[in-house]
Amino acid sequence: MNSEVIRKDTPGCSDKIFLNSAGASLMPKTVVDATIKFLYEEQELGGYAAAVQNAGLINQFYEETAKLINTKPSNIAFAGSSTDGYAKALSSISFKEGDCIITTNDDYISNQIAFISLQKRYHIEIIRVANLPDHELDLEDFERLIKKHNPKLIAVTHIPTNSGLIQNVEGVGKLCKQYDVLYLVDACQSVGQIVVDVENIHCDFLTATGRKFMRGPRGTGFLYVSDKSLNRKMYPLYLDSLGAKWTAFDDYQVHDTAKIFELFERPYAALVGFAEALSYANAIGMDQIESYNRKLADTLRINLQNNDFRVLDKGNRLSSIVTFCQPDGNVEKIHKALSDHKVFFKENRREDALIDFTSKNVDHAIRLSPHYFNTMEEIEKVSQLLENIRH
């Protein structure tokens, strides 16, 4: 992995220290170029002809996504975001009163709200599994809850947006496979920063976004749909002409790939840009990206702890999401120091992660999310800036 080439490919990192890839990362120049080139072709040819002329580039999206997460192109659907794909996956499940969803305390805010919405509409039960003292998921509790409640769905966020925790989605997947329970994984914060392998996770659905660690355009994402789900004829509540064939006045036949979860109208320029971002990451190799990211994040956490900041990330495996505050729980001085020195970051609030932040007794946290275009020198510079406000 050539860091000089990567930084040259990333014009946005030349005049700032960008540590918000968990929000919306910096796109490589090739991603922007691919997106703009397609838009110009739409300008000259119209959208339909441009799509036909660039069928190979469009298919590249499915091929590169499949390569990234170790599956087949036929298992991939384009989505406008991870949440878009998540909602479509949920809509393919026929919930009824008395059904149960088992999830975690650390699932993403939008997912938690979706579950509550289902609960209000269908009177289902939401059960959140216990965490062990080290904050890892309690797999024994998971198995006990599965046996007791026979859940309709198990849903786990791989990496929560509010902490560096990497949840044991593989261990949960083994239980889901053993007990034949539908399994939905939100990989919005993990795809692009660590290796994600759907064969190891044993999930039925997995969602991700383009704008975060994948470094793609906004308005892009994908949904993975397993062969098991496709063979069971699971499809979203609202199909259109891309997902099904109109076979009679009052009937249709669904297609046999994950594209049944897509709609006919898609932002092809953004899709082509996302395909380039996927290709860019695959060319470097997710194993190399993960290894380098771990060094950046580990160094940052150690420096913060050495300067007596309260690091909020808990768990045995931690990611490139680093959350912290001052010992008294405040973040104002941190916020000012970073902003004054053109460090890009995110501030998380209690309502973003209600269960987790309530248990940690914090109202605000600063989130830094280094990525592979960052340098160790930048990590040390930020650490020094923050050390100055503690002494």
Q: What are phi and psi of 111, to 5 degrees?
A: -70, -45
3-class DSSP assignment, residue 77: strand
For residue 277, what are its two tokens? 């971002």
Instruction: Collect the ranges in the chain with pLDDT lower than 70.
Output: 391
Rounded (5°) CA angle 232-233-236: 125
pLDDT at 181: 97
Contacts of residue 304, defined as CB under 8 A and 6 or more positions apart, other chains included, come to: 311, 322, 324, 383, 386
Q: Are 192 and 215 in contact (CB under 8 A)?
A: yes
pLDDT at 355: 87
For residue 306, what are its two tokens? 């050495």
Q: Cα separations (Å) of 306 from 303, 310, 386?
A: 5, 10, 11
Q: Which of 213, 153, 170, 211 is closest to 189 using CA atoms? A: 213
Interval 191-232: pLDDT, tens: 999 999 999 999 999 999 999 999 999 999 999 999 999 999
Q: What are phi and psi of 103, to 5 degrees?
A: -140, -165
pLDDT at 389: 87
Q: Which of 314, 318, 378 is closest to 345 using CA atoms? A: 378
| H-type alpha helices, the chain | 3-8, 29-45, 47-53, 55-69, 82-91, 109-122, 139-149, 169-179, 198-201, 227-231, 268-284, 286-306, 332-340, 354-360, 376-390
For residue 34, what are its two tokens? 């691919």
Question: Crossing angle of helices 29-45/268-284, nearest 10°?
Answer: 150
